[in-house]
Structure 1
Amino acid sequence: MKRFIVFGMMLPGLLLLLAGCHSDKKQADSIYEELKKSASYEKDFVANQEKLDQYKSPCQNAISPETVSSQTIKGR
């Protein structure tokens, strides 16, 4: 009887372990394709961001939000 109980408790765990270990090539290929799309979007973003950075004025680079917030706190 004890063996039956032990086996009954181990079987669901074993089944879950085996179900989680199987390879699903179709799902892996789908994830890979989505990651490739995401990477291409990021490349476009970087290229556009670099173009925009060229048009920043030097004055915008000198004043950062950190500088403004630290000056505001010191002034109180």
Structure 2
Amino acid sequence: MPQMSKVELYAAIRRDHRGGMSMRELERKHGVTWRTVRKALDSATARCESYRQQDDLALMQARCEELTDLLDGREAR
């Protein structure tokens, strides 16, 4: 059997976990350690959280620029 890429392996682990397999079963089926299983299961939620944080940061930066422009306008009067 050809070796899977990391992305394919993580996707297969997450799919099997959603199907009801325990972590121990996932380790045996995919021939990986418990840490790899944990990384695969955690990676799905961590990615979404990082995008949310980037969006929040972009909004905060935009708001900061608006406030700076507003304050600079007041000082010019």
Q: Please confirm whether the aligned pair reaches a TM-score higher than 0.5, indicating the same fold.
A: no
TM-score w.r.t. length of structure 2: 0.44
The higher-RCO structure (CA 8 Å, 6+ apart) is: 2
